[in-house]
Structure 1
């Protein structure tokens, strides 16, 4: 299947078919990896999601092949690789979230790269994905998330506000409340094909509701 065919399945959120094809055809897997660098941000995130599902499924029969993918993606994060690191952090996070009992140790390996403004949203998303599967694995990264609420990038603030709500971190309530008037807009990929653009303030308000700290509804 060619690139456009794979993208069509991703846009349709036909995860089962995408994963099935990637398991039997290395060309489909290569397309998914290539889509990590797609100019369409939504396609980029769908590819991250699909690779996580592929990694989880492959690990059931051959965890070493999943580790090979993780190692390949980790290599692109190093300067000496000469590769494009965009997408690698999110894909690694998605794989860890699919099988945390096997791959949890890799989460600390992507943390050092969070200073890159282009990678930071993927790191935050990875913490949310992994933490949703195993809350104990995300606990040590809460200070990073709280710091990210004050980042100059609206995208990073948005992902941090969303992640803290997804993980239901009670100590974030005051900082999230302070963000409710933040009118900057950003798009956040929430998983399973859900990709929404709204203000940082609206995301903070939704997270407070999710945490039981506020009533539903926001002026943003």
Structure 2
């Protein structure tokens, strides 16, 4: 892979997501520097084309797994970034973030073991007293659907 500057790399990532079928896009994205493309993939969660969004989400899981295999603390930072984006205090509605979070856990057993209980807490209604109370409950139905 040639050394690409950030703007060139971002354009390549978007072009790949827009033009390639899913499995080819995943294989291409895997050849890019993982730590550099992860932010571009998160940005693509908001793309106007739904297919591009879903390809970005699928690629995100693979990229985060690759990062986790090389540097688990770096992968944890990425997951905590997603958790912040899901927090109401962040001031944003993080479209695609629940799905990307799930993809990362699907591919990485380490991340799944560490974060699955937190992930589930986003849909655990704090009014339900059968289990522990969680303060992470997402009240916005589209976000709940993303978690589910």
Is the shorter-chain TM-score for this pair beyond 0.5, marking a shared fold?
Answer: yes
Q: Deviations over 1:55-92 (max 9, x none)?
A: 11111111111111100010011111113321111111
The secondary structure found in structure 2 opposite 1:119 is helix
Relative contact order, higher structure (CA 8 A, sep 6+): 2
The alignment yields a C-alpha RMSD, in angstroms, of: 2.0
Question: 5 Å matches for 1:37-56?
Answer: 37-56=46-65
Pick closer, same or farther for the CA change 1:3–1:63 going to 2, 3 Å.
Answer: same
Pick closer, same or farther for the CA change 1:109–1:102 going to 2, 3 Å.
Answer: closer
Question: Residues 90 and 122 of structure 1 are in contact (CA less than 8 Å); yes or no, is this contact kept in structure 2?
Answer: yes
75, 78, 99: which one pairs with 1:69? 78
Superposed displacement of residue 7, structure 1: 2.6
* TM-score, structure 2 as length reference: 0.71
Aligned length: 122
* TM-score, structure 1 as length reference: 0.50
Q: Which has the larger radius of gyration?
A: 1
Structure 2: segments with no counterpart, 5+ residues = 1-7, 124-138
Comparing both structures, which one devotes a greater share of its residues to strand?
1
Q: Which runs of 4+ in 1 moved over 3 A?
A: 112-115
